[in-house]
Amino acid sequence: MQLIHLFGRLSLAAAACLLSSCAGYHLGSDKPARMEKITKLAVPTFKNLTLEPRSSVLVTNNVIRQLQTDGTYQVVDPQYADAVLHGTIQQFERRQLRSARNNTLRTREMELRLFIHYTVDDPVTGSVLSRGNINGSTSVFLDPNLQLSERQAIDDASSRVAEELVSRLAEGWGSEEFVDDPSRGSSKIRKGRTGGSSLPKSLQQKQR
């Protein structure tokens, strides 16, 4: 009987220790400091600097869908927004992964990489709350309907970019957070943990 009481006390002590060690932990998002008071985001259609038609709507819709799935921010019209997320599609880069067996110039499997730049702006003051560059890639086997294959690849790559972007805005992964310094008349950049690659300056628009 004494052993039972002893084990019971040890179990209670272990549980109390476990609860105390977890007291400082909480579930939920850990927003970047400059985004702490932001709860409502407007997401205008992304600008498109590429030659891919209709990619702006596709990328923007994937970003909005991911924001709604995540739930950290509510997507609203600009007049109701605490901040506005602006995005620019900068480049689609294609790379051959596998060629046809009897023709090395014919691509059988392709990697498509999407590069975007984003900023989160305060609609009242115009200050930049956050900005950064993100890229996302996917691979696709090309079928006779090349347009369909590319469309699917763009959709998949933009979904990956959307996931990374929302992760940055909700949890601060890899974002470049701007801190306004009125005394110097400029802004400083405080870089967070990297969660994606920036667009290299040497990269040029690549269309095939």
| Domain spans, the chain | 31-191
Fold of 31-191: Double Stranded RNA Binding Domain (3.30.160)
- To the question of pTM greater than 0.75 for the whole model, the response is no
Spatial distance between the Cα atoms of 170 and 35, rounded to a whole number of angstroms? 8
Any idea what DSSP says for residue 203?
A: -
Per-residue pLDDT of the chain (208 residues; tens, 9 = 90+): 554 454 455 454 444 444 444 433 334 457 888 899 999 999 999 999 999 988 999 999 999 999 999 999 999 999 999 999 999 999 999 888 777 777 766 777 889 999 999 999 999 999 999 999 999 999 988 777 778 888 899 999 999 999 999 999 998 765 454 443 333 333 333 333 333 433 333 333 333 3
Q: Is 5 helix (H, G, I), strand (E, B) or coil?
A: helix
* CA atoms within 13 Å, Cβ hemisphere of 175: 26
pLDDT for the residue 30: 79
